[in-house]
Structure 1
């Protein structure tokens, strides 16, 4: 397990060691976060919010 900080509120989040880049986690503050791997280390960033297209 890896302890990371939420980039929004600074709270602690525990992520599995085998978490894959692109995996989404939700923090208790309500933030949707994406796991990223930089220089072999895991970190978190705010996940992109993609709106529905509905073919328009």
Structure 2
């Protein structure tokens, strides 16, 4: 169990999460990247911009 960085909602982490996986907060919908699954450390996932070759 950990908390959302944005809204402080309690988040239950599914078993088997690995570093780099992205989950959504069930309360506010922000995408969170797993930094350390064992410690429940999350950060706001970086949004990669689309490169349309412009």
TM-score, normalised to structure 2's length? 0.83
Runs of 4+, deviation exceeding 3 Å: none
- C-alpha distance in structure 1 between counterparts of 2:39 and 2:4, whole Å: 15
TM-score, normalised to structure 1's length? 0.80
Q: Which runs of 5+ in 1 are unaligned?
A: none
* Greater strand share, structure number: 1
RMSD over equivalenced CA pairs, Å: 1.6
Q: Aligned pair count? A: 53
